[in-house]
A and B are shown apart, each in its own frame.
Chain A
C-alpha cells in the first residue's frame, strides 16, 4: 500500500505500521458500530497513514466533517470525534453533543485528540457542560507522519509562531516525543548535533525523557548515526526565496497539501478524443505527488529548467516502447508485450500529467513579472542594493500585488541586510499600511518579533560574511547537471543545507565564526550505546543523518538534501523531519493577524 516508504535507507513503513496499529487499538476500544466526526484539517494527514478500508474493518460505518448544530443521522452505537486540541473545535463538539436528540437511541460519545490531549480543551468542554458525556477521551500521538521514504512531518501549522513568537514550547515537546518514538523503533541515535535555541530545548527534552525511561533498555540496533536539530530562525532567508525545483514550484504556485495538489482542470482534458470540448470539468484536478510515481521521483528535485528535456526524452522512450508491438511476431513476443502494457500505460498517464503540470508552471515562470521578481531576489541574495528602497517592491505595492508577495520580498531584503535602515523600514511600513490597511501594523509587528523584518541594529551588516564563508551565492550554477546544492535556487545555496553539509565534512569547527553570528547556541551531545549495539561501519558505507527542521522546511531544501544523499562520495544520507512542510507564502500567512 505504501511501498514507497520503504524505498529509502530507513524503512519508514515500520513507523506507519506502528501508528496504524495504535489507531486500530483505539477503534476496538469503542465496541460496536461507529461514526467518525472529523476535524477537517486532520483528514489530510490521516490519509497518509490509513484508508477508509482500515476504518471499515473496525466497524466505522459513517464519517462526517465536524460542523456546528446537529450531527447528521447515523444508526450507530458510537460517535467518535477525531480532533486537534483546539478550543474553537471544542465549542463545535459541545454544540453537537447538546443538540443530540434525547428521544433517539442512546449513543456513546468519544474523543480522540491528535496528537495530544489538552487540559485546556477538556476544561472548555467541562465549562460547556458536556465533558461527562464522553466515555473515552484519549490521545493519538501522531507526532511524525511519514510522507515519503525519506521525509517525515508533524504538519503542525502553528509551530513556528508558537516557538518563535509566543515562546510556547508545546510543539517542541511533541517534536521531542516524535523523536523518542523514532528511537524506540529505529534505535538510539548515538550523536546529536544542534544549532539554535529551540534545538537546544528539544535535545534537553530528549535527554530528560531518555533518563525517565531507563527502565526499558532499547535493544534495537541503531539505524541513524546522527541527529541534526536545526532552528528555522537560524536560516530565515531560504524559505523567503522562490523555490526553483519542480516540486518547489508546484508548491509555490498551487500549494501541496499532505502530498496532494489541486490543479486547474483545463489542461487535464477528458481522456478520449472526440469527447473533448463539450463538458470540461470545473472541479479542480487533484493529484497525489510522491516517490511511488517513478517519473515524479525522477524529476521533482530537478531545477525546473531541467525538467522539459527529461519529459521529452521519456516521451520518446514510451513512444518507442509502444511501437514495439509491430515487431512482436510470435505468440511469445506478443505475450511479452502485453504483460508490459499495464506498466507502460501507467508511465504514459504519469507523463501526460507532468507534461500538463510543466506547461502550467511554465506559463508562470515565463511571465515578465516572475522574471522581475526573481531578478530582485537574486540581487538581494548576492548582496546588491539591499540597503535602499527597491523599485520593484515599490511597484508591487503601487500595483497592489498580493500583500504576502510584498512581505516576502521586504523580509528577504531585511534578512539579506541584517535588518533594514530605519528610514527604509519606515518607508516600506508606511507604503504597506496605506495601501493594504493600517491593521497590518499587527502583522508587521509579528514579522519584526520573528526577526524577519527589523531595523538594523549596531549599523552592521553580517550577511556578506555569512554569504562568503558559507558560499551561499554561487556564480557558476549548472541547472542541468548540478554539482552543488545551489542549483535548487539557481545560484543561492540554502543556508540550512550548507550547515548540514559542512557538519558532515569537514565539521563545524571550520565555521565557528559564522556559527557565532547566527542566532542560538550550537552543541553536540552523545547518547552512549551498549557495546553490543555499537556500529562498525563498513568502508564506503554512508552515514545516515536524521535532520530535523524546527519551524518548517521547504521542498527546495529537501531537494538539496536529496542531492547530497545521492552524491557518490558524499558519505551521508539524509532522512528529513520537520514540524511543517512549508513555503515562504504559507509561512508569512501563518504569521499574519486575523480577527479572532
Chain B
C-alpha cells in the first residue's frame, strides 16, 4: 500500500536493502548505487505531500479563526516561554535599569502588588522533614565551621537559633555519631579525633553512609591533619574513599598533590595524562610549547607517547610558521597573502588544518622548509590518502586546476602518464564541486570514475551533459537518453547532440 511508504523506504529496510546488495555485488556498488535511489520522491502519496496537506489545512483555517482572542489558552511570549515562567520573569524583572519608560511602568505596577492579601499556604508536610527528622528552624551553622582551626567560633550564639542546639554539642560522640550528625547538617567538631585510629574510623563510617558530602568533609579533615605519606597509604587500601579524594583534588585543582598521589599509587598513565591536561590552561604559545616538551618523557603508553611528541613538534612548527607568515603578510609583498589574507592564526590548530594551511600558502616550497606540505607529510607520517584529500581541497579552493591535475598524474618509466587517485575519483569530483569547479574540469574527473552507475549519477547530479550522453550511448541505453533529453535546455547543443545520437543507425540500442 502506498500509504506505508512514507519517507521513502522505511529505515529498517535501509540496512536490509544494503545487505542484499552486499552479498550479491561488491561493496562499491552498494555504496554508490542503492542509497541514491532510496531518495527519489515520485510517489504522489508520499510524506511530503501529506505534510503539505496538513499545512494547507492549517493555513486555510487561519483566515477563519482570529488569533487574538484565545484568552483561555496559556499566554506565551514569542520565544515560547509562558508568560510568568521563571526564566521569563528573570528577563522581565532584571531589565529595570536603563529600560524603556514603558518597561518601568510595568514593573511599578508589578511591585505595587499587595502581598498582604495573599493567604500563605499552610504546610502539611515537607520533604526535608522526612530526612532531617523534625524541622530545625534557623539552623544555619555550617559544617565547615566545625572543621576550622579555631572551632571555638562555632560556639558563638547566633540569632534565631534555639538554645537546645548548643546543648547538643558534646565531646562524647563516637565517630559513628559524629558522622550521622554531619550528615544531618549539624555542627560537629572533628578536631577532637586525634589518633590515627579514630580518624580512620571516622572515614570508614563516612564511607559506609555513602554520602559524598560527608566523605569529602572527613577527607578535608584528614588531608589537613595527616602527613601525606600516611594519608596516601591509608587511602590506598580504601578504594571508595580514594576515588572521592581524587575527584576532590581535581575539583579544587590541587594538581600537585594529585600528581604526588598518582606517583605514590604507581598509576603512571593517569599521572601522565593528568599532567599533560595542564597544557589546556596555558594560553601563551611559547610557554605551552615548553610545557609540552616536559610532557614528552612522561610514562604514557607507547602509542600515546608518539602522539604527545607530535603535539609538541606541531606546536613548535606552528610557532615558526606563524611568526614568518605574520611578517610576510604585514610586509604586503607576497601575492598569496595579499589576495587571500589569513583569517586566523595557525597556532594550536590540528595537524590536518595545518597541512591545509601549508598547501594553501606554501604549496610550492621545497621540502627543506618547515612550512612545506611535503615536509609536514614526512615529519608526521601523514598517510597518502589524507595528504591528497587535503591538498586537493586547498588547491581547488584556490582554483589552481593545474595543481589538481598534477596531484593525480603519475608517469611510468616509459613516460606514459596515467591518472590515479588513492581516494577514488568520485571523492575528487565531490570536493571539486564543493569548491565550485567549472563544468569542464568536473567533467574530466567524472569521466575517470570507474563504476558506470556512480559515474552516471555524479554526471547527472553535476550537470555534466556530455558525460551523461556519452555514457548512455556507450550503454546503448536509448530509454535513459530519451529521458535525459527532457532535462536539457530546448535548442541547446546538448539536445542537438542527443538527437544526432538517437537518429544514428550505427548504434544497436538495447531498449
Which B residues lie within 8 Å of A430 (CB)? 307
Let me know if A51 is at the binding interface, CB within 8 A: yes
Let me know if B109 is at the binding interface, CB within 8 A: no
- The answer to whether A120 touches B220, judged by C-beta atoms less than 8 angstroms apart, is yes
- In the complex formed, the residue of A with least CB distance to B159 is A135
Main secondary structure of the interface of B (DSSP, over half): helix
Which A residues lie within 8 Å of B147 (CB)? 119, 123
Closest chain A CB from B58 CB (angstroms): 4
- The answer to whether B126 touches A441, judged by C-beta atoms less than 8 angstroms apart, is no
- The answer to whether B48 touches A18, judged by C-beta atoms less than 8 angstroms apart, is no
Q: Cα distance A99–B98 when bound, in Å?
A: 21
Closest chain B CB from A316 CB (angstroms): 7
- The answer to whether A18 touches B144, judged by C-beta atoms less than 8 angstroms apart, is no
Let me know if A379 is at the binding interface, CB within 8 A: yes
- In the complex formed, the residue of B with least CB distance to A262 is B80
- The answer to whether B386 touches A51, judged by C-beta atoms less than 8 angstroms apart, is no
- In the complex formed, the residue of A with least CB distance to B270 is A445
- The answer to whether B280 touches A131, judged by C-beta atoms less than 8 angstroms apart, is no
- The answer to whether B210 touches A176, judged by C-beta atoms less than 8 angstroms apart, is yes
Q: Which of A73, A172, A368 contacts B210 (CB 8 A)?
A: A172
Most buried by A among B50, B216, B279: B50
Let me know if B299 is at the binding interface, CB within 8 A: no
Interface code B309-342, partner A: CB below 8 Å = 1, 0 otherwise? 0110010000000000000000000000000000
- The answer to whether A596 touches B253, judged by C-beta atoms less than 8 angstroms apart, is yes
- The answer to whether A442 touches B243, judged by C-beta atoms less than 8 angstroms apart, is no
Closest chain A CB from B25 CB (angstroms): 15
Let me know if B51 is at the binding interface, CB within 8 A: yes
Which B residues lie within 8 Å of A21 (CB)? 121, 123-126
Let me know if B351 is at the binding interface, CB within 8 A: yes
- The answer to whether B303 touches A314, judged by C-beta atoms less than 8 angstroms apart, is no
Interface code A140-173, partner B: CB below 8 Å = 1, 0 otherwise? 0100000000000000000000100011111011
Let me know if A544 is at the binding interface, CB within 8 A: no
Q: Cα distance A64–B72 when bound, in Å?
A: 30
Main secondary structure of the interface of A (DSSP, over half): helix
Let me know if A254 is at the binding interface, CB within 8 A: no
Q: Which of B62, B137, B380 contacts A29 (CB 8 A)?
A: B137
- The answer to whether A285 touches B80, judged by C-beta atoms less than 8 angstroms apart, is yes
Closest chain B CB from A106 CB (angstroms): 14
Let me know if A525 is at the binding interface, CB within 8 A: no
Q: Given contacts A21-B124, A25-B126, A429-B307, could you give 17 more A-B pairs where the C-beta distance is less than 8 Å? A: A44-B87, A52-B85, A55-B86, A61-B110, A65-B90, A116-B213, A117-B185, A122-B144, A173-B211, A342-B70, A358-B51, A365-B7, A433-B351, A434-B351, A437-B349, A441-B308, A491-B12
Chain B residues with a Cβ under 8 A of chain A: 3-4, 6-8, 10-12, 14-16, 18-19, 22, 27, 31, 35-36, 38-39, 47-48, 50-51, 53-65, 67, 70, 72-73, 78-82, 84-90, 93-94, 96-97, 110-111, 113, 115, 118, 120-121, 123-128, 130-131, 135, 137-138, 140, 142-145, 147-148, 160, 185, 208-214, 216-217, 220, 239-240, 243-244, 246-248, 250-253, 269, 273, 276-277, 279-281, 303-304, 307-308, 310-311, 314, 348-352, 380, 382, 385-386, 389, 423, 427
Chain A residues with a Cβ under 8 A of chain B: 18-19, 21-22, 24-25, 28-29, 38, 43-44, 46-47, 50-53, 55-59, 61-65, 72-73, 87, 116-120, 122-123, 126, 131, 134-139, 141, 162, 166-170, 172-173, 176-177, 180-181, 184, 201, 204-205, 208, 213, 244, 260, 262, 271-273, 281, 283-288, 303-306, 308-309, 311-312, 314-316, 318-319, 322, 341-342, 344-346, 348-349, 351-352, 355-356, 358-359, 362, 365-366, 368, 371-372, 374-375, 378-379, 382, 384, 391, 395, 398, 400, 426, 429-431, 433-439, 441-442, 445, 475, 477, 479-480, 490-491, 593-596
